[in-house]
Structure 1
């Protein structure tokens, strides 16, 4: 390896680091390195190397010359929308009579739809060109042909055993013709057709190609790498009014556009159209020449993207709550179904569940009639989700997907059986949920060797993405100068690392309950990370984005944890041998009759005997805050702990009220007198569209700070010019602390929960 690095370093006149990074990517000679680092038009393949390209071009040219009506049949995701825009603009440039159709996710489903084909043909379509779909449409193509309408398929998805008898099938993995870049995105295939039709490389379309390729997570190697690299340059100089307005709304400087801009800003916004409404407006946004229309459409996208985020957050929390109630610890796969869950975001929700629980996840929405469920699944690298479900197609109404993702529909009555067979398949595949995919660390670097020049050198490997990830490094020769928690919720962690001369910040986002432990033990943290830059007040600083870390804290005691947090609370649970502890006397009174006469029960921290010793400490209810939980664990000496943590009045789903909700209730309170809370509270909650429990909480807070007066059940607002911070109210602080406790103690996986208990004991 080192010999190859030295040879490449000498041949290319590059640094040892860059040579090492190239060799680790199997690029070990100067010709391959030049093509990788400095792609040119030579990296763009001849479009006629694609199967049936000659047939496709001939049929399309014939349609243009004879003024036949052409319909471009696309798809509703970012790849499909950009593919449609590429083909539509190309045909318009050729003077074709052309329109486009984007299937509706909720009406037409994905891909070819025979009812839609019938409508298009009845409306006068004489040639259908599919983009980013089509190879699965055997029946649809046969119907079109029977009506004298040809179909030209351009697609990149998995090829079925039986291909449609289309006029042409342009596909980079067609078995009859091997293409040099088999991993083109749908937009990449459409671009190759455009290149053949225009007899040139249409550079004005490269911005769309970059968006679709990155959004569809295609490997950024070979021709794809060149297309995206050129496409990012095109994006920085784009004249597309829709994209410019979209970027402006997202507060992104056009000059700063990168593959990350596409992945985290443009792609999610374009995808939100098909997820929430219909994707047709996406194509119009990408192709419009009208300033006002561009602004109108971009604003609509921003609105839908915000709605998508809100739906994802809400459904994710509801799904986690359902999983908690249904005892997921006995399942290796999450299968969760809910009513009124928006189908368009279930794939994203499934991804969030994978992140939060570490398990492959299926998220399903129950139909209005309650008979069927439909949804999406996402997996982890070590579990073949498609294979696991594919062998049980008899349970399903419809199904499709690949290793990491799928879509499916089935009868609601078969969901339990699906859960059972998936758990069996997980065991057959020897799924180990505690085993993580290892990160590939490039090398160890001294802090003093880091610089902006060093960062610029690494950037030569961009664009980064699938098959070309950002380099991850470990770091040496530094001392931790400072460590803090950041963010409104204090869930981000930052260290300032000092070498002999240089200093640099290292940041970890969303570290959850580990925060204070990291701050307290920053000197002991082992971590790896990527390099990035932070621009503040015109100054560019290098920083490390922590990708993974390890903190070993010596355990002072070895205990056995019986995790019953997600078990249904039944009388049998309250008949376990051990010492039962309740934080809340109200919860104890509710359950008192279920205990055996000789049960040993302690209610309240103040009732704990000094130096209490028990064999099995059974914690029945959820504590009001983490401090109480820590106090209990450190006041009682035990060999075994059983955690039920029954949430008597859970607030995870409702959380804290928003500023808008607080403002709405306050305005109503100060403008009305003598509101009868005893009799009209339900009506008031319905009127304000706020959950009753949350409304009661807000009124309690307002009462404590003097915003309302309550006398004999009658409430009246009390306007005040005083500046009052609601967060200082006792009820507000108590709810925040309870929410923190529920988040940490009720949503963590068993392995994480055991670590949390150990950390509390060692505090």
Structure 2
């Protein structure tokens, strides 16, 4: 079979039909059906849809519900009254810069003796630094208030407290087992806290502290909290959605000289500021300050009232960002060339001398997008012979777990599921490469592993400016509320062209609608042109204005060639993979069809809907199993179950695999040791929880997917780490250590992930070939 363009992600196509109850709610809410389907798929009730579409400041939570808010605010107020020197200790990214600015402006408004300090990425590193604290204390600091950091700064904070300098921590990051002995820890997810929403950014926490200090909503800081919230990629739901919606309104009418000048010098002053403007234009420029030099000037840019100084700082910010882009592009090209000789590696590891440490995370992200593989990019220090850098991962590979057990070969290491920072001796780079490939195999990562993306089915005739405007009701877009991605159907591919200076932009005419995709190779363009009927794509709707004319445009995010369409010009296969993400009764109307199931419950549900002459079988029931064609409706939870069925498939002339799955185990993921520890600590610290009733609130508090939390609780219940009494869950004291990965619940979940990698996320053509070979 001819080599095909394949999608970078596994598309989960949602085409749920609206019920009569849905139609009634639709009329009551006066919503576009597509918008309603999207919100319904998120699990929102009618009331929740109303709240989502109409976020209001009145729904912001009382800041004093947050852990230690009262204590922290009283200590800051004492410092203000007594004229003590307060130092705001921030961070060098956008969330840290905006957090610092919010706290600084609020304390200045109260007449405080206040300064701010942004640590240097290259000298101080992230978070509280003992040497930096010592310098600040020697310079007269009497109270240190951290913003967007501090929860993991045990050593530096204990040093400060011993010097008689109190530290008030305001943070939103992961809570470690060993907490710092700070005067107060203000954190939205602190165990036992009554705060209803744990997803705030550092700027969000600073904003809530400011609200408590000022005893009113600090509306002047809404623009800053929107910048920090969007830039830090926290969930745009609940309180964050309110802060960003109203923050964008302030941003679009901003009187801050620094922001006005930055927008002008970035060429976007005349455009409406949206979350995309922040994510793609404002945030990268502000981040460039901390990546290339020092981010102190970022706070000055956001808070200055001097127009001339604002222009100077904005000019410098734009120039540093351009420099950052050039550095990133240069390293990216070098790294990409290195990967040509590493095609067989499951995890990319690249390192070189002279690479700028401040941009390696960006390069790693771009390489992940390009290759679909987890990637680590390291810069080598010629003097120390230490390679230091960043890693970025994919959903199917837990990067922290992969490296956590190999700290003996690393100088420094820290991170989470999707990212890490590390240092390693150059001589141990081959060992690091080997370890990552080994761990990738242990996690069942293969070249077939793909991230699953939800997409909504949309006819091309509905791709209109009117639809685009209707979808804007879902704004602001961001993490956990992305701009809707659609799988387009019922189209004809009318023209295929490459445009742009480097001829790397694909421009299509699809049933009269323009569609574009950036960074397309010439061989991909040729394949599409030669196989127009096999072309499939997903993308977002956008408005494109050219010469004062605005038209709808589709921005393609992923594409592939349909193997079944290509198959028409090749030798026919006995096996056809035609995956289904949803099942409807209409799928079972074919006469004289044989349907085979692995899931007994699904088998029992479907049987009443079969038409006369069609039959249904379980995979291990071979009585009268024969016919011309068969449909394998779902797939096995264990690959061994499939081996039982394979010999029986020889009886059929054609077998179609729908590979339907009720719920994706891979999307749930595997719990990390940190996940287990966090949940266990919570249930040990809280006397009892009605888990079934409060599961959504618990998942939000722990910042964890609900399904992952449920999986962990099932494991804990099996091994006796928790007990249930009348529906109330509580932790068990003095439990013996156990290997949780050996539990039956965990192993079943792991088996399903392995099976999904074969039947759900593999290349369809390769899966067809593999099954055909098995049958033969």
**Higher alpha-carbon deviation: 522-531 or 376-385:** 522-531
Q: CA deviation at 1:209?
A: 0.8
Secondary structure (helix, strand or coil) at the match of 2:61 reads coil
Among residues 120, 131, 154, which one is paired with 1:104 in the alignment?
A: 120
- Structure 2: runs of 5+ lacking an equivalent: 1-15, 572-762, 767-776
Q: CA deviation at 1:554?
A: 4.2
CA distance change for structure 1 residues 253 and 116 in 2, over 3 Å: closer, same or farther?
same
Determine the C-alpha separation between the residues in 1 that align with 2:556 and 2:471: 17
Determine the C-alpha separation between the residues in 1 that align with 2:91 and 2:463: 45
The corresponding residue for 1:61 is: 77
The corresponding residue for 1:337 is: 351
Task: Say if 2:523 is the partner of 1:517.
Answer: no
Secondary structure (helix, strand or coil) at the match of 1:407 reads strand
Task: For 1:650-661, list aligned pairs within 5 A.
Answer: none
Secondary structure (helix, strand or coil) at the match of 2:128 reads coil
TM-score normalised according to structure 2 size? 0.69
- 1:332-381 CA-partner distances (Å, limit 9, x unpaired): 11112111111001111111221222211111111231421211111111
Task: Say if 2:93 is the partner of 1:77.
Answer: yes
CA distance change for structure 1 residues 166 and 364 in 2, over 3 Å: closer, same or farther?
same
Determine the C-alpha separation between the residues in 2 that align with 1:204 and 1:8: 38
Task: Say if 2:428 is the partner of 1:414.
Answer: yes
Secondary structure (helix, strand or coil) at the match of 2:343 reads helix
Q: CA deviation at 1:453?
A: 2.2
Runs of 4+ off more than 6 Å:
555-558
CA contact (8 A) 1:5 1:20 kept: no
The corresponding residue for 2:57 is: 41
The corresponding residue for 1:595 is: none
Secondary structure (helix, strand or coil) at the match of 1:237 reads coil
Task: Say if 2:277 is the partner of 1:266.
Answer: no
The corresponding residue for 2:210 is: 194
Determine the C-alpha separation between the residues in 1 that align with 2:249 and 2:532: 41
Among residues 507, 512, 515, which one is paired with 1:506 in the alignment?
A: 515
The corresponding residue for 2:304 is: 288
Task: Say if 2:260 is the partner of 1:244.
Answer: yes
Q: CA deviation at 1:409?
A: 1.3
Task: Say if 2:158 is the partner of 1:145.
Answer: no
TM-score normalised according to structure 1 size? 0.70
The corresponding residue for 1:479 is: 492
Among residues 454, 465, 475, which one is paired with 2:478 in the alignment?
A: 465
Among residues 506, 510, 525, which one is paired with 1:493 in the alignment?
A: 506
The corresponding residue for 2:322 is: 306
Q: CA deviation at 1:523?
A: 4.3
Determine the C-alpha separation between the residues in 2 that align with 1:169 and 1:93: 23
- 1:433-482 CA-partner distances (Å, limit 9, x unpaired): 223223312222241x3332221111101111111111122333443343
Q: CA deviation at 1:291?
A: 0.8
| Aligned positions, number | 553
- Pair member with larger Rg: 1
The corresponding residue for 2:365 is: 351
CA contact (8 A) 1:362 1:378 kept: yes
Determine the C-alpha separation between the residues in 1 that align with 2:222 and 2:208: 11
Determine the C-alpha separation between the residues in 2 that align with 1:512 and 1:494: 13
Q: CA deviation at 1:71?
A: 0.4
The corresponding residue for 2:552 is: 542
Determine the C-alpha separation between the residues in 2 that align with 1:238 and 1:205: 11
CA contact (8 A) 1:37 1:461 kept: yes
Task: For 1:312-711, list aligned pairs within 5 A.
Answer: 312-324=328-340, 327-447=341-461, 449-498=462-511, 503-513=512-522, 514-552=524-562, 554=566
Determine the C-alpha separation between the residues in 2 that align with 1:557 and 1:395: 51
Among residues 22, 32, 50, which one is paired with 1:5 in the alignment?
A: 22
Q: CA deviation at 1:557?
A: 8.9
CA contact (8 A) 2:84 2:143 kept: yes
Secondary structure (helix, strand or coil) at the match of 2:411 reads strand
The corresponding residue for 2:634 is: none
**RMSD of the TM alignment (CA)?**
1.9
Determine the C-alpha separation between the residues in 1 that align with 2:424 and 2:509: 53
